[in-house]
Structure formats: C-alpha cells, structure tokens
Amino acid sequence: MAAKRKTPVKTRNPDLIRGVGKYSRSKMYHKRGLWAIKAKHGGDVKKPLLNKRKPKPTKLRASITPGTVLILLAGRFMGKRVVFLKQLTSGLLLVTGPFKINGVPLRRVNQSYVIATSTKVDISGVNVEKFDDKYFAKEVEKKKKKGEGEFFEAEKEDKKTLPDEKKEDQKTVDASLIKSIEGVVDLKAYLAARFSLKSGMKPHELVF
C-alpha cells in the first residue's frame, strides 16, 4: 500500500461536464511532464494498473429452473414453447424444443427474451454435461486462395449441413425428455403450439 499524501492530489484536468475534460490527451502529456519523466528514466513511465475485473455470470431468474417450459419472445422461434435445460457459463440458457415436437433444436437463448411459465418437465433423465458455449461456436472456414475465375462460380455449398454428431446429441437429449413429456396429458400438444397474445389478454395481468 502506497503511503497516503498529506494533501490530496489536485486534478490537472478539470471537467467541463461529466465525462469531458478540459485538456486533450496531447496537452495532458505535456502538462504531466511525461516527456521529461521518460527522458529521466530512459523511456519507462508508470502505467496505470490493469483492470482485472471479471464480469459476474448473469443471475438466473428464480422462476427459471431446469425443466421449466419457457416461451421464446424473439427470433426465428418466437412464440414457441420450449424446455429449459441449463444455464451456460456465458449466461445464456441452453434450451431444446424437443426437436421432434416443435422443431426447436438444442439452442442458446438469452434470458431477457424469454417468459418463464410455471410448468415444469421432469428433466432427470437428461445428461447435459457435455454442452457448453464452445459446442455452439461457429465452424472456422478454411481460407481459400482468391482465384479470378472462382469468383463467378458458387464455390461454397449453399447450406451447411449439421454434422451427424450434433444430430445424435439432439436425439439422445430428446429421447428421455419426450418420454417424460408424454407422461403428462396434453403437454406434447402444448409444446407443439405457439403462444400468441389474443384479444382481451392483458400481459400484465396474465399468470404464466
């Protein structure tokens, strides 16, 4: 710990308004005399300390527990009712349709774009250990050398097919889920249907 000064240091750069100083970076360089300090110490100046702050993982809403049915509010699958599996280290929620029921694959979704219902599905038979953010990273494409002639041809396939391994993962996760879903009456049809606001529904009064 550095010894505290008897008089606090007066700022050399007063604020014009919050966030805007009176002197520019180059003016401040001269004001602080960094040119002289550098000359004195042969080019080494004290650097400000590194910011080692790590952002905390997003806090999960209390209403979202593994097995909760969520309603997606945005994106390609908006309105779909979907089963929550776990929260990934990035804070995003890992979610699955199940795929056979409503076409939503294993997918990451942000907590803010989701309504949590109070309906829960039994998720004990599912092993979600192997899924993390790296699993969902985009495939790195190998760079091809630019060739004049190749520009005018469709050199890449239009659709990138999912690797079989991921399809298998989807099937194993969904197998036990679908069994527990079929145990509850009407739950399968519920997950297959999309949610929409109808006339007379007031979202602030609805219980989800």
Partner 1 sequence: PFKRYVEIGRVALVNYGKDYGKLVVIVDVVDQNRALVDAPDTVRSQMNFKRLTLTDIKIDINRVPKKKTLIDAMEKADVKNKWENSSWGRKLIVQKRRASLNDFDRFKLMLAKIKKAGIARQELAKLKKETAA
Q: Looking at beta carbons only, is 20 or 185 nearer to partner 1?
A: 185
Taking the complex as a whole, the smallest distance from the CB of residue 191 to partner 1 amounts, in Å, to: 10
Closest-CA residue to 135 (of 97, 81, 173): 173
Q: What are the φ and ψ backbone dihedral angles of 104, each rounded to 5 degrees?
A: -90, 120
Residue 196 binds to partner 1 (criterion: CB under 8 A) = no
Mutual orientation of helices 25-32 and 34-41 as an angle, nearest 10°? Answer: 50
Which two three-digit tokens encode residue 145? 């050398």
Taking the complex as a whole, the smallest distance from the CB of residue 81 to partner 1 amounts, in Å, to: 8
If phi > 0 it is left, if psi is from -120 to 50 it is alpha, else beta; for residue 67 that is: left
Binding mask 51-70 for partner 1 (x = CB under 8 A): ------------------x-
Taking the complex as a whole, the smallest distance from the CB of residue 202 to partner 1 amounts, in Å, to: 10
Count residues contacting partner 1 (CB under 8 A)?
A: 17
Residue 206 binds to partner 1 (criterion: CB under 8 A) = yes
Q: Is the dihedral of CA 124, 127, 133, 137 positive or negative?
A: negative
Residue 146's SS3 state is: coil
Q: Looking at beta carbons only, is 88 or 114 nearer to partner 1?
A: 114
Q: Looking at beta carbons only, is 81 or 107 nearer to partner 1?
A: 81
Binding residue for partner 1 (CB under 8 A) from 34, 45, 162, 193? Answer: 193
Binding residue for partner 1 (CB under 8 A) from 118, 124, 196, 199? Answer: 118
Which one of the spans 11-19, 94-102, 167-175, 188-196 is the region binding partner 1 (CB under 8 A)?
A: 188-196
Q: Which residues 130-149 are close enough to bind partner 1 by CB under 8 A?
A: none
Question: For residues 83 and 123, is the Cβ–Cβ distance under 8 A?
Answer: yes
Which two three-digit tokens encode residue 103? 């076409």
CB atoms within 10 A of CB 192: 14
Residue 205 binds to partner 1 (criterion: CB under 8 A) = yes
Question: For residues 190 and 97, is the Cβ–Cβ distance under 8 A?
Answer: no
Which one of the spans 89-97, 136-144, 149-157, 184-192 is the region binding partner 1 (CB under 8 A)?
A: 184-192
- DSSP 8-state symbol, 22: S
Question: For residues 117 and 70, is the Cβ–Cβ distance under 8 A?
Answer: yes
User: What residues make contact with partner 1 under the rule CB under 8 A?
Assistant: 69, 71, 81, 117-119, 185-187, 189-190, 193, 195, 205-208
